[in-house]
Structure 1
Amino acid sequence: MSEPSAGDPGALAARLAVLPDEQLLAVLVVATAGRENLAPLYEAATRLLSETGQSAPASGVIPGTPVGGGYGTAPDLDSSAQVGGGIGTGAGQHPGAGGGAGGYTGSGVPTFGSVRDKVERRIGTAFGARALDRQSRAGRGADQQWEAREQAARERLEQIRTSLHEGEGS
C-alpha cells in the first residue's frame, strides 16, 4: 500500500498528534474560528488554551506567525486580516462592505476574506464528502476493487518482466 498523501485525513491526524497540547489547541482555535457549526469546539479550545496560560491567537492568524510592525498599519491601506486589517476595509468603501453582508467592496469587487472563506468551504465540503464516501459500503467496495486491480497489474507486470529476462538468457 502507498504512503498517505498530504490531503489524507489520517496523515493530517498523525501530524497533529505529535504537537504539544498548547500548539494543538491553538491550531484548533484558528481552524474553528468563524465556523458556526464548530462554535462549541472553538469555545472549548479557547477556554482550555486560556487555562494553560496561553492567549488564543487572533482569528485568521496561523499559530506561530510573527507579529511585526509596518505591514497594513496605515488606515488607508487594504491589508489582509493576517497582518492587522481586513481586505476591503480601506477608504472609499461603504460601511459593512469589507467582510460583512455579501463580502464585496463598494465597487462590487469580492473581498479577499470572502473569496478565501468560499474556497475553504468548498475544500472542506470536498474532503468531507471524500471521507464519507470511503466510509460507505460502496466506497469501501471501490477501494477494494482498486486494490485488486493494482495487485493484478503488479502481478502482470512481473510476468512480463520475467518473460523478457528469459528471452535475454537464450
Structure 2
Amino acid sequence: MTEYSEIAARLAALPDAELASVLHAATAGRPAFWAVRAALEEMAGVAHATSTGDVSPATESAQAHDQAVDGGASGQVGTASAVPVVPVHPAGIPASPATGGYSSGGVPTFESVRDKVEQRFGTAQGMGELDRQTPAGRSADEQWEAREKAARERLDQIRKSVHGNDNP
C-alpha cells in the first residue's frame, strides 16, 4: 500500500463520529476549507465534532518521511505506521464559534464585520490626513475656511439687519 492509501484505509475504518472529529480538527485554522468545516458541523452537530485548536501532532523530521522504507523480500511495509496519531477530542468541548470570520452557517460574525468597518474607517481617516498634506489639499482647506468666514460674516450682517428692523 502507498502512504496515502494507508491513511485512507485507516480513515475509512473509523466510525462516522470519529471521522467527522478528525476532519474537523484537520481543517481547523484553514480558511480555504471553511465549507468542508461547515458541512461537518452541520452533519454531525457542532457538539459532536469539536476541537479546541489546530491539530499539531508530534511528527518526525521531513528526512524520516522521505527515506525509502525497507519492505524486505516481499515488498510489504512493516506493521508500524508512519502516520502520526491524530488526537480525537471528546464530544462536549466547545469549539470556536467561527473560523475565518464566518459562522458555521456562512454568516459573517459581529467581530469580523466590526473589524472591517474599523479598518475602512481608519483607512478613510488616514487618506483624509494625507490629502490635506498635499498642495491641492491645503488649497481646498484654505478655500473652505474662506467660505466659512464669508458665510459667518454674511450671517452676522443678516442678523444685524433683522435686529435693526425690530427696534422702532
TM-score (norm 1): 0.39
Q: Which has the higher contact order (CA 8 A, sep 6+)?
A: 2
